[in-house]
Amino acid sequence: MTNFGFRADRPGEFQLIAELFAPLAAAPGAFDLTDDAAVLASRPGHDLVVTTDAVVAGVHFLATDPPELIAQKALRVNLSDLAAKGSTPAGYLLALCLPPQLDMDWLRAFAKGLADDQGEFGISLYGGDTTATSGPLTIAITAFGHVRTGMMLRRQGARPGDLVFVSGTVGDAAGGLACLRGEAPSLKKSERDFLVSRFQRPEPRVAFGKSLLGTASAALDVSDGLFADLGHIAGVSTVRIVLDAAKIPQSQALITLWPNPPDRIARAATAGDDYEIAFTVSQRRRAKALQAAAASGTPVSEIGHCEAGKGVVLLDSCGEEIRIPLPGYVHF
C-alpha cells in the first residue's frame, strides 16, 4: 500500500495509538486498544443506539481551527445525534485519515480535546483506525449509547395537530463561519467569539434529549439546517410542517451580524451545524416538554405545528409563504 502521508518525525501507527489514544480507552472492553475489536457490554432493559458521522477539513471545519476544537466537534456532532434519540452516550470508535503536515504537537492537542470531552460526557474510546492520506484531514466517529428498550426517539411519529419546537437558537454556526471568513468586521469581540464558538464547538443537548423520552413524538438534531431537517420528520411522518418565521429563535449576536430580518430568518432556517434538537409533541404533552426543558436548563421555542399534507413551509407575519430556494446543506 502506498503511504502518501508518511513523515519521519511522526511515529508509526502503533506507537501513535499507544502514546495518544490508548490512554483514552479506559473502558474494560477496549483492552487498551491492543486487540482488533472491542466489547461493549449490553445493558439489561436497554437498546444499543449507534450513529456515525465523518467530518472533513474544508467542508465541516477549517483546517486552521485549533486541533482540540476539531476533535471536539467531530465527537460532539455524533453525541448530538445520540442526544436527539434520547440516548445516554457510552463510547465511540475513531477513524483518522491524517495528511502529512500534522505534527505530534497538533496530534497531542487533538487527543487532549477528546480526553476533555470524554471527561465531560462520561464516555470512552473503544477503538478505531489511523491511516495516512494525501487528501484533507478526515475524521470518522461512530458513537454508541443506551436507551430504554423500544423508547428511542425517531424521525417518524409526528401527527397532525402536533406542535413543533427547537432548542436553543439557530443560524449561529453559519454566523460563526462568516466571522472566520472575515465577513463580520463590525461585530464586538464577545459577539464574534460567541458565534465562532457555536461553529467550532457545538453543545449536544444530552440531558434534554433524555428528558424527551415518552414526551416527544418525533425528534432529530439540526445538522443540515432547520428547514431541511424538519423536512425529514415531515417526510417519514407523512405530515406537513408549518413554521412561523417570527418564532424562529435567533441570538442577539446573529441579529447584529445579519440585521435584515427576512434575509436573516431565511439564512438561519437553512444554515447547518446548529446541532440543536428539533422535535414535535402533542398538544396535551406540551407542558411536559416545557417542564423537561426547564429542568435541564435548555431554552426551547415553539416554532410551528404539523397538519395533514407534506413538506415544510415557512410563513411570514401575514401568513404568506417565504420561498426557500435551498432548504439546507446539500452534501452531493
**pLDDT at res. 3:** 42
Q: Provide the percentage of residues in the chain whose pLDDT is more than 70.
A: 94
CB 184 within 8 A of CB 178: yes
Q: What is the mean pLDDT of residues 192-208?
A: 97
Q: 111-149 pLDDT, tens per residue?
A: 999 999 999 999 999 999 999 999 999 999 999 999 999
pTM value is: 0.92
The pLDDT-based confidence of 327 (bands split at 50, 70, 90) is low
Spatial separation of the C-alpha atoms in residues 136 and 57, rounded to whole Å: 6
pLDDT digits (tens, 9 = 90+) for 52-86: 999 999 989 999 999 999 999 999 999 999 999 99
- The domain limits of the chain are 13-148, 163-315
pLDDT at residue 69, as a whole number = 98
Sorted by sequence, the CB contacts under 8 Å of residue 262 that are 6+ apart come out as: 316, 322
Measured distance CA(282)–CA(239) in Å, rounded: 13
b/e map 22-44, b = 16+ CB within 10 Å: bebbebeebbebeeeebebeeee
Cα separation, 281 vs 214, in Å, equals 10
Q: What percentage of the chain exceeds 90 in pLDDT?
A: 80
What is the helix (H) or strand (E) element at residue 138, kind and residue range? strand 138-148
> How confident is residue 329, by pLDDT bands cut at 50, 70 and 90?
low
pLDDT on residue 15: 77
Q: What is the pLDDT of residue 332?
A: 45
Mean pLDDT along residues 193-220: 97
Which of 15-19, 90-94, 171-175, 216-220 bottoms out in mean pLDDT, i.e. has the lowest? Answer: 15-19
* CATH number of the 163-315 domain: 3.90.650.10
Cα 169 to chain centroid, rounded: 14
Residue 119 contacts residue 75 (beta carbons within 8 Å):
no
Domain 13-148 has CATH 3.30.1330.10: yes
- Which pLDDT score is estimated for 307? 98
**Residue 173 burial (10 A CB sphere; 0-12, 13-18, 19+):** buried
pLDDT surpasses 80 at 12 = no
Residue 4 confidence (pLDDT) above 60? no
Which pLDDT does position 8 carry in this prediction? Answer: 46
Res 2 pLDDT > 90: no
In the predicted structure, residue 11 carries a pLDDT above the cut 80: no
Mean pLDDT for all residues in the chain: 92
Q: Which of 130, 122, 222 is nearest to 172 (CA)?
A: 222
13-148 and 163-315 have identical folds: no
- DSSP secondary structure string, 277-292? EEEEE-GGGHHHHHHH
Distances (CA, A) of 136 to 77, 100, 177, 212: 19, 10, 19, 38
* pLDDT attached to residue 17: 81
Q: Is the pLDDT of residue 5 over 60?
A: no
**Does residue 42 carry a pLDDT above 70?**
yes
Residue 139 phi/psi, 5° resolution? -125, 120
DSSP code at position 38: -
pLDDT in tens, 20-30: 888 888 888 88
Q: Which amino acid is present at 206?
A: V
Q: In sequence order, which ranges of 163-321 are alpha helices (DSSP H)?
A: 172-180, 189-200, 206-211, 226-237, 252-257, 261-270, 286-295
